[in-house]
Amino acid sequence: MNSSVKTIPYGISDFVNMRRRNGYYVDNTWGIPLLEALPYQLFVRPRRFGKSLLLSILHYYYDVNYADRFDELFGGTWIHENPTPDRSQLLVLHLDFSIIAGETVKEMQQSFETKCKIALDGFRDAYRKIIPKDVQKEMSRQKTFMDALDVLTTSQVFASKQRILILIDEYDNFSNRLLAQTGEDAYRELCHGTGFFKSFFSLLKAKNTVITNILLTGVSPMTLDDVTSGFNIAENISQSPRLATLCGFNHQHIREILDYYAEAGQFPLDREQAFQLVTDWYDHYRFSQDDDEQVCNPVLLLGFLNQCLDSKRFPRSMVDENLRTDYHKLRHIVTTNGRLNGKFHALERLVTEGTVTTDLIRSFQAETLTKPESFLSLLFYYGMVTIGKELNGKLQMTIPNQLMRQFVSDFLLNGYQDACKVDTRINELADKLGDMAYNGDWRPAIEHAAQVLKEILTVRDLLDGEKAVQSVLAALLSTGRAFAVQTEHRVGFGFADLAMAPRVITFPDIQYGALIEVKYIKKSEKVLKVAKAPLLAEAKSQLERYAEDHNLAETWRLKPQGTVTLIRLALVFHGEELLFAEEI
């Protein structure tokens, strides 16, 4: 192996460590002057989107202690040729709130105190030649982190000469965890009134003559809005068009990294197939209404490459299990006392319609999550939906990629399991879907899914019967690994109700894919035998038209040129009951 080939820095968020390991790096230092323009800022992006590396870069760029290593660390980057006046001029206090442990407010406060005190002690030691000795001694006498920070920032000798930059990584990590695990009362205790977290932000605001720069990163503005009276000086720059691509790889970056490892002899797989997989599963995030460029999740792309280089084949699963665990912590949002709530119905609409029209809320509190626009905005910040087109002056949100489509389906399935207790039935379905993918035996899978669907819908209110059937069915069919399931899938000049796309790149021996038309008769209506013929005729006409689409034949590798057989199914439901299922 060529030792000069850059390593894949998957899981590495420390800039010095990455440079020492000769890690592959897409230069985003062009954003430093833009970040420097405002002193107090909040920058949010979804989970595992490179925020920690961004803060690490800023730390080493501004830290006065790394002035003599600037050329070593930043050589070859944009900022090396275009440094700002504050380069290597600040004292940096770097806090990581993802390490705050505990399940109650009291436990989190103790962990917060311990971890932040350790960080401040490290700060004092790192700048012992700069901080006056009497100030260091007085800091060490303090029992709490905030008291020690107060001593540092009230020293007239120190404050008149120095400026502090505070970087806070995952500022909302433990507050979100508390909300998920314990509930709104505990969260309110943390972030409102005399809660220690609110007090912390109040202290930062009060010391803004010494703490001249603060950058917070997280996944949403919600926690900051809940402590807003304590820290109402931060500017949310997350939707700035100039910073829309700061974290993330664009299509050119994706092709460049694939080409790099292929030309180095380490990536023997088909690059076009790799590009298709990556863009299908991790791409299409758009973070500003005023910038059309879309970006790919960089950490997931690096994880994908890491697996490819290790096994010399495409991953069987494109789902990052660590990320899945993070997203599962949100399941409390869509259930209330074991019952599905209005936010759950919003997810169902998103699945069945593909888009939702809403306003993007830049500022909201936890107690407003009952409002549809706040909930949908939270999904945007978590990356489950992204900015789409504008229609009649209104913003349309869409599911960006297959990974998020899978996570939305997981949300729905988790809700069904919590409220309807159908865990084992769902597990059985996955095996039957495997038989459908490889043997074409579709009826056991479809009829099993219909039985589970009936169990689910008979114990919950039908907000919209037809849409509920479609969303439940889509979520259930997503349990099969061999298919990528999508509702309202564009085929030619129409939209198929359900598309079960064969994952031919990952599973090249897969034999079948399916298009499904769902017909629905209201439960209140009588079912007449004569109604069957026109429903089937309509479904047949639609499916035959879809099957003629050349793009579908190419991407799904359909016969006769390819190896996959297309199954065309018409399903007719009367309420939650499957009347009949026929292959067209």
What is the reported pLDDT for 302? 97
Q: Please report where in the chains the tokens 């590396």 appear, as a residue.
A: 53
d(CA 282, CA 506): 15
Q: Please report where in the chains the tokens 């390819």 appear, as a residue.
A: 562
**Residue 143 DSSP SS3:** coil
d(CA 298, CA 413): 28
d(CA 307, CA 185): 43
Q: Note the pLDDT tens digit of each residue in 254-309.
A: 999 999 999 999 999 999 999 999 999 999 999 999 999 999 999 999 999 999 99
Angle at 42 between CA 38 and CA 46, to 5 degrees: 140
Angle at 105 between CA 103 and CA 109, to 5 degrees: 105
Q: Note the pLDDT tens digit of each residue in 80-125.
A: 999 999 999 999 999 999 999 999 999 999 999 999 999 999 999 9
Pairing of strands 386-391, 355-358: unpaired
Spell out the alpha helix ranges (H) of 440-557. Answer: 442-457, 465-477, 532-547, 550-555
**Dihedral sign for Cα atoms in the order 433, 437, 441, 446:** positive
- In the chain, % helix, strand, coil (3-state, to 5) comes to 50, 15, 35
What is the reported pLDDT for 231? 56
What is the reported pLDDT for 462? 47
What is the reported pLDDT for 1? 41
What is the reported pLDDT for 392? 78
**Residue 255 DSSP SS3:** helix
Predicted TM-score (pTM) of the model is 0.91
Is the preceding peptide bond at 9 cis, omega within 30 degrees of 0? Answer: no
d(CA 338, CA 382): 23
d(CA 521, CA 64): 71
Pairing of strands 211-218, 577-583: unpaired
Domains and CATH numbers, the chain: 27-243 (3.40.50), 421-584 (no CATH)
Is residue 359 within 8 Å of 373, Cβ to Cβ?
yes
Task: Identify the burial level of 305 via C-beta atoms within 10 angstroms of its C-beta, where 0-12 means exposed, 13-18 middle and 19 or more buried.
Answer: buried
Which residues in the chain show pLDDT less than 70? 1-3, 228-232, 329-342, 419, 421-424, 459-464, 529-530
CB-side exposure of 484: number of CA atoms within 13 Å?
Answer: 22
Closest CA to 120 of 100, 88, 96, 149: 149
Task: Encode burial over 417-433: b for 16+ CB neighbours within 10 A, e otherwise.
Answer: bbbbebeebbeebeebb
Alpha-carbon distances of 408 from 136, 203, 242, 340, rounded to whole Å: 51, 39, 29, 15
CB-side exposure of 464: number of CA atoms within 13 Å?
Answer: 14
Closest CA to 379 of 417, 419, 407: 407
d(CA 239, CA 327): 22
**Dihedral sign for Cα atoms in the order 67, 71, 76, 78:** positive
